[in-house]
Structure 1
């Protein structure tokens, strides 16, 4: 017998304790934390949608969408890249440095809050919904709440406290969901999904102080650090503005070209295709970048080894899964929706190309940013914008709207090629390994197509 009873109480307890320690260590691995966090966040989002759509009228979600677009545009146009700046900076552990960054961050939030409040009525009129002006003004408080949070939501990445940070964010999301459901049930009004994010943000802000040591900051300003931040952020701001254009221009154009039904299929396919990007963004910024920044600070010569060694397994698994999504597009649509939505499969198949390439492209940009080449992400976004500006109209003229969709789905390719070129210039590129990842993605597509051919006739 080899179980705990045969080993006796002492040895059995030690063995159980050892297994628990191994399980806890496994759970604390950064990559596993990111995967779990993304899964939980998607589940909470699904539960929220199911509950709130039964308590509120559709117009409520339209109002929330307008507010979300306004807030997103303002945030992206003023993005200073605080997270990447703090994680990478040599003085990132100094109290004075953190005080300065926290002060600048709070100042930005105050300006955004006041600006959004001042523009609330004009923006509501521009949207043709003057009655939502007060809701826009109230939602502006989210910027202030976020600015008042502890800098620990950023420094936790530098200190490898990803599990604790993810726990804080998950708890805040649960609070927001609970508040939204309770208020929607009580008020039967769109104000429920206006107030709930503010309460969720407030919960995150409070937890950012309670759950981390050395969270309190003081007002401080240092011209040297401020100039360093600006020199760092000037590329970030441009990149964020371009990202905003990249995520919105296709919807604006296709809204004019498609019927409402076709536009609905496209939006549905877009949401499904972009789901993997929640992982690529979190993994690249929260797991990979802190490791690369530390390697650059401590031993720059090891950056290439750390870059490929730390992402090899996860890249292969991701490429296989992302390729599988592209290969099983028709099957996914058939399982999730009825026959009315079958046309969404073509859109999904084309749009799934972008997330297939996103992890390789994003990982390369994080490595180059860690090595001080902050401009690369900005230039990679310019490459995507140029692709859409040139290939998009040409494909639209030759193939119609579906050609524009194909251009949108493939816009990550020029960014990836540019990132490879920059990796090569920095002596960080391993061509064979990058091509191997693409081969795994191709295998995922083929496996997906085979699975689709086998199962689709039975649906």
Structure 2
């Protein structure tokens, strides 16, 4: 009996939406729409300078977090003993100690950091945000165990609930404070909610203090390259904000922070998909049949890679229109910054997948080496950019750094037998097609809406 093509297509679509990848993509689309919607409201309740301050404080927090990163999530997902209660308690203890030390360090250095940025009035905001670290350290390890066991639906449902509550709290506090304190306080409350959910919504989530020198040494052996790499990631991901916060007044810095936030929207999809679907799947394949990993490297990711490339290409093409539609005229110039930063966003998917596959096969030094390549590119490019073009030159270097990372990723994938030129060219072609469509939409939209 012949199958109805329409019904077959509907069935395939349902299976796709119900798959782990479909759930992750659907949730991330919803979260990004919610993030954009809440930012549209916040831009009308807060001034541009508030976003600049929030961006600077966030940059400081990320800086300290990356300096002390030891790859706990990757360690938990990959380790064969992750299901054991004693093992989880030992790792949780190390994570908590790290959080306490970080919070104290940030409080002590808050004044120095604020003075370096020539904005001493940010001292108390930075010190308050330092509480993020200790709150994060108090959270249960149960979400990491759920990630290892590929409990994608549970993780995604909790993420959606947390973000909805977080958005509501941020808007409510913005109505009260009308300053950057609304963003900082809401972020702290959101972090506390995350800790509460990690214990109440996951099975077997209890933790107790159990310090183990043996576990600390094992974690260090696993993460020594990751730690070095994340210190380089610090320079790559936060160096622009730390430099530009001195070069730009708050009014311009706010536009840059807004553009960087929008450019990071697709990257959040990459991080969630790679961390919750691809990496656990690659790790499972490697544990069961290492030889099958090269064969399945592209097959498990190709469809979404093409969709991502087309979507980001389209985003680059119509970025000015998006900014003009979403925000009031004060933010118009952010559209140009956004187009530049989205170039790195486009290549972030490929470099993220390459990093996951290298960690899966035990090549943890790859992350460090790839970041060395990025640092060299940033250092040389930033000197040229700043010398001849000023701050905008640095933005162009930041906006293309992932291209350098992608070229290095291709060379290393080829060495390990994973690289397929035809597949990579197809992904780039999808991005160029999206760029053409996006540019057409931008021209049409500006004409229809009479936007200059």
Is TM > 0.5 for Structure 1 vs Structure 2?
A: yes
Deviation at 1:350, TM superposition (A): 3.1
Deviation readout 1:65-109 (Å, 9 max, x if unpaired) = 443233222111111111111111222223332222111111111
Q: How does 1:213-362 map to 2 (within 5 A)?
A: 213-253=203-243, 266-336=256-326, 344-362=334-352
User: Post-superposition shift, 1:196?
Assistant: 2.7
1:90–1:297 Cα contact (<8 Å) kept: no
- Provide closer, same or farther for how the CA distance between residues 52 and 356 of structure 1 changes in structure 2, counting only shifts above 3 A: closer
Cα RMSD after superposing both structures: 3.3
Q: After superposition, what is the alpha-carbon deviation per residue over 1:263-310, rounded to whole angstroms, capped at 9, x for unaligned?
A: 665444433333211111211122111111111111111112332111
1:425 is displaced (CA, Å) by 1.7
The residue aligned with 1:434 is 424
Shift of residue 343, structure 1, vs aligned partner:
5.2
1:97 equivalent in structure 2: 87
TM-score w.r.t. length of structure 1: 0.84
CA distance in 2, matches of 1:451, 1:222: 58
Q: Secondary structure at the match of 2:362?
A: coil
What's the TM-score, normalizing by structure 2? 0.85
Aligned twin of 2:143: 153
**C-alpha distance 283-438 of structure 1, shift in aligned 2 (>3 A):** same
Structure 1 residues 163, 135: closer, same or farther in 2, change over 3 A? same
- In the alignment, the residues of structure 2 paired with residue 204 and residue 411 of structure 1 have an alpha-carbon distance, to the nearest angstrom, of 32
Residue in 2 aligned with 1:18? none
Q: Which residue of 2 aligns with 1:8?
A: none
Larger RCO, structure (CA 8 Å, separation 6 or more): 2
Task: Kindly indicate whether the alpha-carbon contact (under 8 Å) linking 1:168 and 1:208 is maintained by their aligned counterparts in 2.
Answer: no
Aligned pairs for 1:22-33 (under 5 A) are 27-33=17-23
Q: Judge conservation of contact 2:274–2:352 (CA < 8 Å) in 1.
A: yes
Alignment of 1:62-77 (within 5 A): 63-77=53-67
What's the counterpart of residue 187 of structure 2? 197
Higher gyration radius (CA): 1
- For residue 78 of structure 1, what is the aligned residue in structure 2? 68
Preserved contact between residue 52 and residue 254 of structure 2 (Cα < 8 Å): no
Alignment of 1:357-376 (within 5 A): 357-376=347-366
User: Unmatched 5+ residue regions in structure 1?
Assistant: 1-20
How many equivalent residue pairs?
440
Following TM superposition, by how much is the alpha carbon of 1:131 offset from its aligned partner in structure 2, in angstroms? 5.9
Cα distance in 2 for residues equivalent to 1:45 and 1:189: 19
